[in-house]
Amino acid sequence: MTKLMQLISVVNEKVADWSRWIMVVLILVVVYDVLMRYIFNAPTIWAFELALIIGSTGYMLSWGEVERVNMHLRVDVFFVKCSPRWQALINTMGTIICWYPVYIVYMMVGTKWALRAWRINEVMVESYWYPPAGPTRTLILIGLTMVCLQITVSLIRNIHVLRTGEAL
């Protein structure tokens, strides 16, 4: 079980490293679009849509890493004053009550969304470029899957702290 948990964490770390480079590409695409539009008066039909695709996939693929390094949003002013067991209890309850229900809905809707995009050869319509929607929606679903797996790893670690008082 511990090896699987480590594997999930390592995969999230590597995916996040990859998505950091995606953000560099996003910056280059936006800079190119701005230069072409405002300096050369030659706007592109693809740059805005590509920026949306790159930004959304990079963002979603990095969520698992955010959970892995425990950097998600919370009120740390109170949380850091709690004992490790209380922190684990708060995290466990938050995961069961808040995270899992939301991500179950995300996964159900995201799966239908991605499958439909592939089935009907859906295209994105924010510009006249019309790129296929399937690849982007699949990458978003992969990002959701990775964060769900990492949340499960965090839940197991928190339950271990609750039971033993020691970190896993």
**Structure token pair of residue 40:** 């050369």
Comparing CA positions, the residue from 147, 149, 156 lying closest to residue 72 is 147
| Radius of gyration in angstroms for the set of CA atoms belonging to the chain, rounded to a whole number | 20
**Structure token pair of residue 68:** 């892995």
Question: What's the first-to-final CA gap in the chain, in angstroms?
Answer: 11
What pLDDT is attached to residue 167?
86
pTM of the model: 0.88
The conformation of residue 165, written as its DSSP 8-state character, comes to: S
**Calpha distance 114→116 (Å, rounded):** 5
- C-alpha angle 57-62-67 in degrees, rounded to nearest 5: 145
pLDDT tens for each residue of the chain, 168 residues long = 789 999 999 999 999 999 999 999 999 999 999 999 999 999 999 999 999 999 999 999 999 999 999 887 777 788 888 899 999 999 999 999 999 999 999 999 999 999 999 999 999 988 889 999 999 999 999 999 999 999 999 999 999 999 998 888
**Structure token pair of residue 14:** 């590597």
- Non-local (6+) Cβ contacts of 152 within 8 A are 8
Q: Hey, how many other C-beta atoms are within 10 angstroms of the C-beta on 133?
A: 20
**Calpha distance 30→47 (Å, rounded):** 7
